[in-house]
Amino acid sequence: MEFREHTLPNGLEVVAECDPRAHSMALGFFVKTGARDESTDVAGVSHFLEHMMFKGTARRSADDVNREFDEMGAHYNAFTSEEKTVYYAAILPEFQADALELLADIMRPALREEDFVTEKQVILEEIQMYQDQPPFGADDLCKATHFTGHPLGQSVLGTLESVGQLPVDKMRAYFEKRYSPENIALVAAGKVDFDALVTLATKQCGDWKKQDAARNVIEAPPHHGFQCVKKDGVTQQYVIQLANGPSATAADRFAAKLLATIVGDDSGSRLFWNLVDPGLTEHTSLGHYDYQGNGMFFTYLSCAPEDAAENMQRVLDIYRDVEAKGVTAEELEQAKNKINSRVVLSSERPRGRLFNLGSNWTHRREYRSVKDDLDAVDAVTVEQIAAVLKKYPLSVSTTVTIGPSAEVAAPK
Amino acid sequence: MAEPILSQKFDNGLILLGEPIPTAESAAFTIRVPAGSAFEPTGRGGLSALSTELAQRGSGARNSRQFVTDLDNLGVERDATVSDAHASFSGATLARNLLPALAIYGDVLRKARLPEDQFEAARAVCLQEVSSIEDDPAQKVMLELRRLHLPDPWGRNSQGEKAALESITLDEVRGYVESRFRPNGAIIGVAGRFDWQAVVDQVSRICDGWKTQADDAIKISSSGKRREHLTHESNQTQIGIAYNSVPYKDPDYFQAWGAVGVLSGGMSSRLFTEVREKRGLCYTVYATHQSLRDSGSVLCYAGTSAERAQETLDVTVGELLRLAKGIEPNELKRLKARIKSALVMQQESTSARSAALARDWYYLGRVRTLEETGKLVDALTCDTINNYLAAHPPANFTIVTLGSEPLEAPVGIS
């Protein structure tokens, strides 16, 4: 296992973890752009653009792009988040050059108006699909409230209105500004030929023009609140809660992950034993998500509407209890065992390593081996977790509940 | 080159299968016992799910909490599911923890306590899962499609029915586990890094004193109904379409599977191109081959806004009908490339391989190596697939829709 890195003269960085024992490889372009980089008049453009990137280039049609990926037998896709847009392919090593040539080409898309009009329909369908699915938009609403006035509160999907009115020239302008080579990393993992990767990246991406693509990473000021939204035709009640947590650059983010595992993992956690195991809720969990400048603890709960108020109170009581008394050494040990196993399992496939590598690089320009992550998890102490709870109390949060109930009492 | 498949058949009927992957850091297991929803008495939908849930709430020396804690400490990423034919327990963990994990599941199979004080909680968990389907329109339409299209008991929703779950007694669960958690028909697959003899010894201990039970016949019946609309308040209309195909064990299976791959594998596939890329009708559209032991089906799904649902249904059915006219050489080339890379990548997942071992054994009574599968794929030609399609054209569709308004079945289809 060897880490390699190289920077092109235009600022594009190439990083790879080369594992000659792997059967396959994965590669992708990690672009540091997402919903937080959008002005309100183009809400949803990052995600819409992600779709448009597959719609052809100066020398390829949309059909060509799809066909050529499939000819390689590539497992390829893309996703957009609050702060990054990622285009990737998992392939057999013999296709490294073909896959890079194609991925690099689509990174300079044609953005043709007729494709834009058709694809807009697909995006509007995607937005409607999420409106019909739990948690029925409550996640976006909770984020918008929690990060009021800060770009992290912006929706990745946008709305039917914002996407519906978006003209193609605004997307083109956004692309020009954000897809600067300095804002992009080419990441690879698995059975990678790094020298060949750099040579081809230089040829394919060397003429991409550098632009200023700075981002506002000022920490969001905290907001809290409680909202209940009535939604007809829904059976269960859903609750989303956001609380502040360590950011992607904070040293205590590992303690935060262990805390979330102890308190709210899918199995064996405090929320599991008190709410899921007895069958009081269909689902209750706590997770930690980190961004540049901000982090958040994310609570998700679903249950019968008549039980929602009581269950929210149970969650709050559990949070207050852990804030007051901390976690036990035994709980910490169990959480470490779980996370260590997950780290190893998710690292067995090159595509698992790709996302880890890409996230670390785009957040911190840092390479971390599997062992680095395992060591960081092992080093966390009960005291460090107590310090996280003191700095970021779980009980202070923004809550949105959505479901058939017009009113749900806020926990006290 | 993949390692050979190891196997050990025990006198009581249990089969143990192993695929060594020496480069892996992990080992994974899949345990199937013949306690799937097809074996539930009529009107007891959910008995398998409730039994599976309760069996994990204390077994051998462990109570419910110790069971979870011990597995967590072993780092076992795990799942328990019920399908038509089986209750399955699967997990993956660091290679050194495989044997203790198997020992814990051995207790679930042999020494489930099925405690009274956990029964209502187990029931509540199962009821929560059934309730959650109500808010998941895509899942709901496909469950209903299976129920209509597949002969009973194979089309049952393995999560069960609310009314039945509410009335099942602890004695029923105890009786069901007693009779259905049996060695004959049970399959254990392990893949990854392990010492085969140690695994055989561990499973021998599990099998000690575990007696074979008499096989019982399953009575099959068909609803005969081919159209249904479920009214649901939503922006989108969900569309499910099914037609008959051949099962996994059929000599023509790879022809049928290949044809579905042309329809719905990759973004250059026909459904994705015609329904989504050219017309922008929906975000999700797919077709998938679904096999039972003795029959097969193709299940298709599309979800789209109500006003474009009719066009989506028409275009989708149009593509299914067009498939009968045959596939093109370039489509075959892409199909083979995708399957080939998927087969290689499967070697990088111990979980995927352990599941494949158990699946193959159930459907075929033996395991196909990745190499063997590769050869079968290499042998596909346009002619072989097109001959199959000419003899088995997609027809006799079962169509289920869910949304604000019903749709018209396209003209000219039966």
Per-residue CA distances from B161 to A242, A328, B89, B168, B175 (Å): 35, 41, 22, 11, 19
At A221, the pLDDT band (50, 70, 90 cuts) reads: confident
| Residue B125: closest C-alpha in chain A | A279
pTM here? Answer: 0.95
Residue A116 backbone zone (phi > 0: left; psi -120 to 50: alpha; other: beta): alpha
pLDDT in tens, B26-43: 999 999 999 999 999 999
Q: DSSP 3-state assignment of B139? A: helix
pLDDT reading at B414 higher than 90: no
Mean pLDDT for the stretch of residues B142-167: 96
High-pLDDT (> 70) share of chain A, %: 100
Q: Please, what is the average pLDDT of chain B?
A: 96
pLDDT reading at B2 higher than 90: no
| Residue B344: closest C-alpha in chain A | A23
Which of A282, A303, A353 is the mutation pick for testing B, counting most B CBs within 10 A?
A282
Integer-rounded Cα radius of gyration of chain A: 22
| Residues B104, B188, A348, A267, Cα dihedral to 10° | -40
At B222, the pLDDT band (50, 70, 90 cuts) reads: confident
CB contact under 8 A, A134 and B136: yes
Please provide residue B92's backbone torsions phi and psi, each rounded to the nearest 5 degrees.
-140, 145
At B412, the pLDDT band (50, 70, 90 cuts) reads: low
Interface ipTM above 0.90: yes
- The sign of the CA dihedral B81, B83, B86, B92 is negative
CB contact under 8 A, A121 and B281: yes
Q: What's the pLDDT at A403?
A: 97
Strand order in the sheet with B227-231: B227-231, B398-403, B236-245, B296-305, B284-291
Please provide residue A341's backbone torsions phi and psi, each rounded to the nearest 5 degrees.
-65, -40
- What share of residues in chain B are helix, strand, coil (percent, to 5)? 45, 20, 35
- Residue B205: both structure tokens together: 């201990």
DSSP conformation class of B151:
P
* Burial degree of A383 (CB within 10 A; 0-12, 13-18, 19+): exposed
Q: What's the pLDDT at A212?
A: 87
Q: What's the pLDDT at B413?
A: 67
Strands (E), B61-195: 62-63, 77-82, 87-94, 187-192
A22 touches chain B (CB under 8 A): yes
d(CA B247, CA B291): 5
Please provide residue A85's backbone torsions phi and psi, each rounded to the nearest 5 degrees.
-125, 125
d(CA A302, CA A308): 8
pLDDT reading at B370 higher than 60: yes
B279 touches chain A (CB under 8 A): yes
pLDDT in tens, A262-307: 999 999 999 999 999 999 999 999 999 999 999 999 999 999 999 9
Which residues between 82 and 121 in chain B have a beta carbon less than 8 angstroms from any beta carbon of chain A? 92-94, 97, 120-121
CB contact under 8 A, A345 and B338: no
d(CA A259, CA A262): 5
pLDDT in tens, A341-373: 999 999 999 999 999 999 999 999 999 999 999
pLDDT reading at B1 higher than 60: no
A276 touches chain B (CB under 8 A): yes
In b/e form, how buried is each residue of B151-167, taking b as 16+ CB within 10 angstroms? bebbbbbbbbebebbee
CB contact under 8 A, A279 and B120: yes
Rounded to the nearest angstrom, the minimum Cα separation between A152 and chain B is: 26
pLDDT in tens, B57-80: 999 999 999 999 999 999 999 999
Which of B345, B377, B404 is the mutation pick for testing A, counting most A CBs within 10 A?
B345
B307 touches chain A (CB under 8 A): no
